[in-house]
Amino acid sequence: MRVNVIGACNIDITALAGGAVRMHDSNPATVRYTHGGVGRNIAHNCSLLGLSPRFVSAVGRGPQGEAILRELRDAGCDVSGVIVSDEYPTGSYISFIDENGELLVAANSMGINELIVPGTVSDLDAEDAVTAFDTNIPEETIDAVTSLGGIKYAEPVSGPKCVKLLPYLSRIDIIKPNVYEAAELCKTDTSGEDGIIRAGMILREKGVKKVFITDSVRGAWLFSGEERIHFVPETVEAVSANGAGDAFSSGIIYGTARGLGDMEILRFSCAAAACALEHTGAVNTSISEKYVLKKAGLLKNEQ
């Protein structure tokens, strides 16, 4: 099954706190510059997992955009659908990670994503494909993508941005909000197990076929048909949470494209997220299909 990914490309600037964070003050930190963007991270992970996705996005003309596209090509991604703009610079995302590896605050500059208009997805071959998109793209493009054939996968991105999905939930096959995004989409409290279950059922009632809800170290939930699964993976020592949700998304896309069962998809996605948590960048470039299958306990005939 083919894979298409539509979404944002960024330069990620990540500050890793060197100790307890003092608000409203200057903090010692290690600062790293890497390639990011939700759509780009998902496409990169999918490429490393052997899916050879087609990626639709936009970058600014110049060394930063060229470096992003070169890295994706080298990983096996088709970037022929990426716009190279003379008008906008490549997007940027600045995050501050606290001493526990959790995101404290972030900021972004992503005006270039307005170039990802409906016409950029009109020639996608979506039949017999998983077409994933993030909510950094304009709402009219979400309308166009959710009107395509095949399996549509939505990555909500954030509380403020995920509300773009509300008019199109009945067209979406798979969605993966975290507990905060689920609360925003469903207007319900998701701070406890009952609230998460309520949100999952609301999204199912709105027409989404499969709903994954992630809850940090408390694991992930899957709602599919009458099935309700809660899986808590082994704890890993987190270096940075940046990109973990995108890795989880790539796991869902991989499992769907490869025809894995629901529990296998959940285990694989959690394993992919764990790989991202153990790495400083948004994508752990050392991952592979075999490595994540083994980490998930799904590699057959191997100890």
At residue 90, the pLDDT reads: 97
Q: How many domains does the chain have?
A: 1
At residue 85, the pLDDT reads: 97
Residue 229, in any domain of the structure = yes
> Which stretches of the chain score pLDDT less than 50?
303
Q: What are phi and psi of 88, to 5 degrees?
A: -110, 145
Question: Measured over all CA atoms, what is the biggest interatomic distance in the chain, rounded to whole angstroms?
Answer: 54
CB 186 within 8 A of CB 199: yes
At residue 47, the pLDDT reads: 98
CATH of the domain at 45: 3.40.1190.20
**What contacts 296, CB < 8 A, 6 or more positions away?**
264, 267, 268, 270, 271
Residue 234, in any domain of the structure = yes
CB 53 within 8 A of CB 43: yes
Q: Give the pairing of strands 227-231 and 151-155.
A: unpaired
Residue 53, in any domain of the structure = yes
Distance CA 256, CA 173 (A): 11
Residue 267, in any domain of the structure = yes
**What contacts 48, CB < 8 A, 6 or more positions away?**
75, 76, 283, 285, 287, 288
Residue 159, in any domain of the structure = yes
How many other CB atoms sit within 10 Å of the CB of residue 130? 25
Residue 23, in any domain of the structure = no
Q: Which long-range contacts (CB under 8 A, 24 or more apart) does 120-123 make?
A: 120/6, 120/56, 120/81, 120/83, 121/6, 121/56, 121/145, 121/148
At residue 270, the pLDDT reads: 96
Residue 291, in any domain of the structure = yes
Domain that holds residue 47: 2-7+38-90+117-295
Residue 22, in any domain of the structure = no
